[in-house]
Structure 1
């Protein structure tokens, strides 16, 4: 059996509950952790502080994946098609810089692949892609109640109205990549 080659990927595409739920469905993804990064406020931010929009942090997920099962490029394609990368600081009703579309790269390889994927996928959108591509700073893990949020709260109204349809779209578009 081939040994796992675990890599990290960090992205934000609106509410981290949505992005986490999407990546938990993908083959090769070992773990998805909701958190915050990209801001300038000192110290570990809280959800309330990040939601204020004053910290500069984005809601993100950090994905641990097996590169022998799924590529960084494939994960980016899932990411770019599971949210709207053409709306600045907004995903649906979630508005603010904390909901920006962003790819935080961990190394030059990820930066280069992200730039190529964003450029290639742009032709499929009517509006320009506004996804930020930036180096990862400090990743702060979100509070425990945010982890596996959808799995633990499927009946909650936001989950049923926003995340469940997003997962249905994922299953249609990327069936071959699902667990």
Structure 2
């Protein structure tokens, strides 16, 4: 049934094409209802293929000699722009876990272990942000020694190094 329907659709699709020569179209032989549905039989004429004419081997016109060849241009990336550091896969995993499971409702797909880990990671991230806020406030007030001491007491060595470098550049 689908074959007959597909063939009929193919014939309709060719209706917009120029008409084929007489006798080259399929002709309906018979249609009958069988157990699987309507079955139509068509007679398809023999197909004749003609060889395409051989392509001519004429020479292409010569390019004009007045144009000089272009020099290749090699683009190099600017050297002044620093590249962004690659993301740490563990930090990405932790951020996803916090976003997905820290404040999740009971409908979320988080195990109790995931929820505990996410809540602990969220609390640690909030503590780091509070430490960073207090250290940057001290550095902004000009108390660089106290800011470095606070960062070291908070256990954030990277923040202490950044604040020390910031204070060394400041006048």
Q: Which has the higher strand share?
A: 1
> Whose RCO is larger (CA < 8 A, sep 6+)?
1
* TM-score, scaled relative to structure 1: 0.18
Q: Which has the higher helix share?
A: 2
**Highest Rg: 1 or 2?**
2
